[in-house]
Amino acid sequence: MMWRRGGDSPAQSSLRCTHIDSVNAVAKPYIVSESNISRNLAGTRRFLRALFSRSQSTLGAALVAFFFFLALFGGQLAPYPKANDQSHDARVSPTLDIGSLQLGAHPFGTDRLGRDVYSRVILGASSIFRTAGLGTAISVVLGSALGMAMGYRGGWLDELLGRVIDALLALPALLLALVMVGIIRNLDLAINSWQAALADEVTLLVIAILYIPVVARVARSAALDIKTREFVAAAEIRGESSAYIIFREILPSAIPALVVEASLRFSYAIFLVASLGFLGFGAPPPSPDWGLMVNENRGGFYRLTPWALEFPALAIALLVIGVNLMSDGIRRAVQKGGA
Amino acid sequence: MTQLLEARGLGVSYRLGRRWLPALREFNLRLDSGQIIGIVGESGSGKSTAALALMRYLSANGRIDGGELRFLGEDMLAMGAADLRRLWARRIKLVPQNAGAALNPSIRVGPQVAEALKAAKGIASAKASQQVIAGFSDVNLVDPQQVVERYPHELSGGMQQRVAIAMALICQPSLLVLDEPTTGLDVTTEAVILDLLRALIVGRGAGVLYITHNLGVVAQLCQRVVVLYAGEIMEEAPVAQLFASPRHPYTLGLLSSLPKPGQRKAQSRLQTIHGNPPDLRSMGQGCVFAERCPLAIEMCRTQKPPLEEVEPGRLTRCFRWADVAFPAARGAPMQAVALANVDEAGQVVMRTEQLARHFPVPRDLDDMLRGRKPQPIRAVDGVSLRLRQGQTLGLVGESGSGKTTLARIVIGLEARSGGRLELFGADIQGGLRARRHDLLSQVQMVFQNPQNSLNPYRSVRQTLRRPLVKLRGLSTQAADDQARQLLEAVNLRADYADRYPDELSGGEKQRVAIARAFAAQPSLVICDEPVSALDVSVQSAVLNLLADLQAEHGSACLFISHNLSVVGYLADVIAVMYLGQIVEIASADALFRAPSHPYTEALLAAIPAPDPSQRNERIRLADDLPSAQNLPGGCRFHTRCPRNIGEICAREAPPWRETGPGQGIRCHIPLDELAVLQAGAS
């Protein structure tokens, strides 16, 4: 794990801006903040240059950025923002107005219910980022805190939680996710409409819970390594609290490893969300969920409207490939600096 | 004597991003067969690059910029990969710095060495294994028939190094390159390996290149010396002349910054070379050493001095080589460190009574089946020490003797499993969390590895501010003012406050770490090998700094080092530790005189003196340190003791014989007899 060793990697310095507390130093005769800021900018630039020096990583980042843009502005971009419930002419093939080189009325065609596939694919981006993205973020934050505490404190708590985590990791993620969704749904069948409205939140929660142990394990091993360094002993000698040592001394050095882990988790989460949707355990119809759309349009309808299945499937594939390429790039960029 | 290797104007660059950094420039060397040439330099001087370039074995990001390289008259730069491989297999052998990492962990060492022999001479396996055993006994490996069956990890560091040396020598190379072969080893092991190398190399007719940072090793082993600095040869001379009368200010600086055995801080400060080695990325026009040179004149900064022959067989790259011999070159006379008054009746700052730390060993399957409990590892086993206000207590011993564990118990990072610990008159129970606030600020520590002792995400200001705020209760404003004074005290410019650790050199990092330790105004500072990771040219400045700060604050100091010269310079009282026990306590002056414990005697004899006329081979410790889990009975040192007097040593624990107030030797031999024995030997 090269990025944890060695002094400073570009990613590390780029992330340093999060814990600088020298704002009040401006009043001093020797001014700090400017050099700090320029240093962090330089670090970020170095990191980005390393990231974009490979065309694969650039492509990955561009794909992710593209879908994120769709997630933010999909509502404005989709020609039929209400394509969830509005039916048009059923089963229209993809059209392209060749003469004026403009997208036709239904560039990706319509599905068996006559809904515009193009609009639905665009609208589906936002729920992916809300569930997979936010779920990953929550799992990274909580998992890091848990793993760091386990790694630093050690002892029986670490032993106990470590075993639980090992047990959880032994089970297939999808299986666990299905069980969890099942449990949550069974909590209160009476208010089904409530369940439907909160379907995305349930998925988000499942992703977060599912990935906390995975992230915790990475954070734990990072903390185990970093805590042997002498600056941690120096902090202990000062009588610092565990929380101070974990968050102020150890965490900054672990961030590169955690960023790599987060990007990797995100790509798994996208796939998991799509799988849940496909199996009918995600958002209920008529949500524009990519996994759900693949399911709705498979089987007999496939021969009639192949495009209604192919375009959402393509969207899933592109986003997953993009995240993977970007994650690989981040890992390399972090390593390059750390080595 | 045939000319073996010749390099002329050799240059090597490494790629860094899109730039090529010239790591070695205008390198000349002539090596005859049977000759041993030492290449000395600090880290980053290009000495390993030179060695690898001379073998044409550079890493993929390195290239040879130009020049000539001939091996037995053949142009090595024109050779193809296959020719080079044949050359490496048969004629040129490298002994690497870290044999543990260079040996393949999954092949037994016998077959591994046999493989090298097969590649070199095409000898069949059965015959090869015979030769391997013979080769192993040549390097004094005990019981070579057994050793060939072992895997590298089953051997100690010293044994691994012997295997690597055997692997190289068995092929009877024409050229042997030794890249810091003893750097990771204890002094005692180093001394044995050096004796061995001297015996094996001389008379084999091979040419030897010995790469090292240690001037003492060069003085003891080599015939000629090349001094490298920032990728250029500063001076080249026969060893006796170089050490007697250096002709380059850098060589002079290096030689005079080493603490001599017996030199004390009360007599004189250590000579220093100020500043840091230059950055390869931003080198000026002039002499590479000009920035740090006490003799530098205007010309040195604008023009590059040539490497010229100033006497037959002596080369130097300096415009002012003729002035080097004069006292002015040695800089201002060094004052003694202004010592705080060490009162023999002063307050006892730290007292340990039979302090012990036994690490329990978990039972393995074998233990469970036999129903026995494994012995604990006795890292520290009954240590009684006393340290008074203002005093410096040096703690020496080989690695594995328990020095660091002892320090960690005192500071509270490690729990103790027995005995008493008193700090400032108060009995200490429990770990760090149980210690009161004022006690925390009174005991501080300087760590060994400057790379790890500063948080890479904190600027120097943030690093120094924290103890001031946390332990001395200053406001942020006041703490920053104080931090500036601390920087000044450790001779760093005020603008260093905004730097991060990766923008500091090793010596600068250690200065910041020292400033951090003294920020809390401690009464006791524990220094665990504070200079062992630093280059010679910056080491002495850090030692002076430590002595000054300690005197100024009147703090007591527990100073741990494996280097007896360093400890002797800094400490008032020295405790010698062996396998968890103190075997001798002596004042620094007395330690270098007889009588001393046989272990101390061996440690002293093992130091390679940076003076070719001094050779000290009378006492050597043959074996490795026994395991602290399976301690020898009787006297713990009896298995390796050169003065072993027989059965009593193996049977009975030796008595503590007082040599003075608070001083003594743990040995069966009566003191007057020891004195006679040791006087007779020297």
Q: What is the pLDDT of residues A304-334, one digit of tens each?
A: 777 888 888 999 999 999 999 998 888 888 7
| Kind plus residue range of the DSSP H or E element containing A252 | helix A251-278
Is residue B509 in a domain? yes
> Would the pLDDT of B457 be above 60?
yes
Residue A27 has pLDDT above 50, yes or no: no
Question: What local confidence, expressed as pLDDT, does residue A13 receive?
Answer: 38
Q: How many residue pairs bridge chain A and chain B with CB atoms within 8 Å of each other?
A: 85
Which CATH number belongs to the domain containing residue B214 in this structure? 3.40.50.300
CB contact A16 to B (< 8 Å): yes
Interface test with A, best of B457, B488, B512 (most A CBs within 10 A): B457
Query: Closest approach of chain B CAs to the CA of A41, in angstroms?
Result: 15
pLDDT at A96: 57
pLDDT at A91 over 80: no
Residues B464 and B541 both lie in one domain: yes
Name the residue facing B498 among A12, A16, A32 (closest C-beta). A32
**Residue B603 falls within a domain, yes or no?**
yes
Spatial neighbors of A143 by CB under 8 A, at least 6 apart, are A211, A212, A213, A214, A215, A216, A218, A219
d(CA A304, CA A266): 34
Domain boundary among B244, B259, B279: B244
B177 vs B367 pLDDT, higher one: B177
Chain A residue numbers with beta carbons less than 8 Å from the beta carbon of B454 are 231
Nearest CA in chain B to A35: B498
Tell me phi and psi for residue B26, to 5 degrees: 45, 55
* Closest alpha carbon to B577 in B262, B350, B352: B352
| Alpha-carbon span B559 to B541, nearest angstrom | 16
Domain check: are B440 and B484 in the same one? Answer: yes
Q: What is the pLDDT of residue B455?
A: 92
> Which one has a higher pLDDT value, A26 or B332?
B332
Give the best residue of A32, A37, A40, A237 to mutate against chain B (max B CB count within 10 A).
Answer: A237
CA distances from residue B123 to B129, B135, B510 in whole angstroms, order as listed = 10, 14, 52
Q: Note whether B523 and B402 are same-domain residues.
A: yes
- CB neighbours of residue B592 within 10 Å: 16
Are residue B441 and residue B532 in the same domain, yes or no? Answer: yes
Average pLDDT over residues B408-436: 90
This prediction's pTM: 0.83
Same domain, B416 and B500: yes
Q: Are residues B454 and B541 in the same domain?
A: yes
Please determine, for residue B195, whether its predicted confidence score (pLDDT) is greater than 90. no
Q: Which of B244, B264, B288 is the last residue of a domain?
A: B244
Chain B residues touching A234 at Cβ < 8 A: 445, 447, 453, 513, 516
Closest A-chain CA to B465: A22
Q: What is the mean pLDDT of residues B343-363?
A: 85
Does some domain include residue B580? no
* CA proximity to B315, closest of B391, B256, B233: B233
What structural domains and CATH numbers belong to chain A? 2-338 (1.10.3720.10)
Q: Which of B411, B484, B500 comes nearest A8 by C-beta?
A: B500
Q: Which tens digit of pLDDT belongs to each residue from A199-210?
A: 788 889 999 999
- Chain B residues touching residue A3 (CB < 8 angstroms): none
Q: Among B458, B444, B548, which residue's Cα sits nearest to residue B504?
A: B458
ipTM attached to this prediction: 0.84
Give SS3 for B435: coil
Model confidence pLDDT, tens digit, residues A264-312:
999 999 999 999 988 888 877 777 888 888 888 777 666 777 788 888 8
Do B428 and B536 reside in the same domain of the chain? Answer: yes
Query: Is B646 found in the same domain as B598?
Result: yes
Which residue would you say has higher pLDDT here, B308 or A23? B308
User: Is residue A151 scored above 70 in pLDDT?
Assistant: yes
CB contact under 8 A, B453 and A230: yes
Q: Are residues B272 and B365 in the same domain?
A: no
Q: Taking CB atoms and an 8 Å limit, are B502 and A8 in contact across chains?
A: yes
Distance from CA of A216 to the nearest CA of B (A): 22
Q: pLDDT above 90 covers what percent of chain B? A: 44
Q: Which residues of A touch B443 (CB under 8 A)?
A: 237
How far apart, in whole angstroms, are the C-alpha atoms of residue B11 and residue B25?
4
Is B469 within a domain? yes
The two three-digit tokens of residue A61, written as one number: 């980042």
Query: Does residue B505 form part of some domain?
Result: yes
Is the confidence at residue A29, as pLDDT, over 50? no
Give the residue-averaged pLDDT of B23-38.
92
- Give how far Cα B640 sits from Cα of B625, B632, B645, B649, B650, Å: 8, 10, 12, 11, 11
B84 within domain boundaries: yes
Confidence grade of residue A6 (pLDDT, cut at 50, 70, 90) = very low
pLDDT, residue A98, reads: 55
Asked if B478 has any chain A CB less than 8 Å from its own CB, the reply is: no
Taking the CA of residue B58 and the nearest CA in chain A, the distance in Å comes to 19
DSSP sequence for B557-618: EEEE-S-HHHHHHH-SEEEEEETTEEEEEEEHHHHTSSS--HHHHHHHHHS--S-TT----S
Binned at pLDDT 50, 70 and 90, residue B269 comes out as confident
Averaged pLDDT score across all residues of chain B: 88
In this structure, are residues B181 and B161 in contact, taking their beta carbons and an 8 Å threshold? yes
**Closest residue on chain A to B514 (Cα):** A234
**Closest Cα of chain A to B482: distance in Å?**
13
Instruction: Report residue A217's pLDDT band, with 50, 70 and 90 as the boundaries.
Output: very high
Res. A12: pLDDT tops 80: no
Which burial class, exposed, middle or buried, applies to A26 when counting CB atoms under 10 A from its CB (0-12, 13-18, 19+)?
A: exposed
Residues 348-367 of chain B whose Cβ lies under 8 A from any Cβ of chain A: none
So what's the pLDDT on residue B413?
Answer: 92
* pLDDT band at residue B595 under the 50/70/90 scheme: confident
The reply to whether B607 falls in a domain is yes
Instruction: Enumerate the residues of chain A whose CB falls inside 8 A of the CB of residue B497.
Output: 30, 32
Confidence of residue B278 (pLDDT cuts 50, 70, 90): confident
**Alpha-carbon separation of residue A140 from A18, A24, A50, A151, B682 (angstroms):** 16, 31, 24, 16, 67
Instruction: Say what the pLDDT of residue B328 is.
Output: 55
Are residues B515 and B433 part of one domain? yes
Verify whether the Cβ–Cβ distance B484 to A30 is below 8 Å.
yes
Chain B CB contacts of A253 under 8 Å are 455-457
Whole-number mean pLDDT of chain A?
78
Flag if A239 and B432 touch (Cβ within 8 Å).
Answer: yes
Spell out which residues of chain A touch residue B495, defining contact as CB-CB under 8 Å. Answer: 30
Last residue of a domain, which of B152, B171, B190?
B171
Does the pLDDT value for residue A33 go beyond 50? no
Please report which confidence band the pLDDT of residue B9 belongs to, taking 50, 70 and 90 as the band edges. Answer: very high
| Higher per-residue pLDDT: A16 or B362 | B362
Using a CB-CB distance cutoff of 8 angstroms, which residues of chain B are in contact with residue A24?
Answer: 476-477
- Dmax over CA atoms of chain B, in Å, equals 79
Is residue A28's pLDDT more than 50? no
Cβ atoms of B20 and B14 within 8 Å: the answer is yes
pLDDT of A17 over the 50 cut: no
Residue B235 lies in a domain: yes
Per the structure, the count of domains in chain B is 5
- The answer to whether A248 and A238 are in contact (CB under 8 A) is no
Question: Following DSSP, what letter does each residue of B608-668 receive, concatenated?
Answer: --S-TT----S----SPPPPTTSPPSSSTTTTT-TT--SHHHHHSPPPEEEEETTEEEE-S
What is the percent of chain A with per-residue pLDDT over 70, rounded to a whole number? 75
Mean pLDDT, to the nearest integer, of A241-253?
92
Residue B503 distance to chain A (closest CA, Å):
10
Whether residues B533 and B653 share a domain: the answer is no
As given in the structure block, the two tokens for residue B418 are 């027995």
Task: Confirm or reject contact between A279 and chain B (CB < 8 A).
Answer: no
| Number of CB atoms found within 10 A of residue B11's CB | 17
* pLDDT tens-digit map of B556-585: 999 999 888 889 889 999 999 999 999 999
pLDDT digit string, tens, across residues B66-93:
899 999 989 999 999 999 999 999 999 9
Same-domain status, B607 and B638 = yes
Q: Which residues of B touch A25 (CB under 8 A)?
A: 461, 480
Give the nearest chain B residue to A29 (CA atoms): B481
Domain that holds residue B123: 102-171
State the Cα–Cα distance between residues B518 and A181, nearest whole angstrom.
58
Q: Which of B500, B503, B508 to mutate to test the interface with A (most CBs of A within 10 A)?
A: B500
Phi, psi of A281, rounded to the nearest 5 degrees: -105, 5
For the record, the structure tokens of B142 come out as: 């005990």
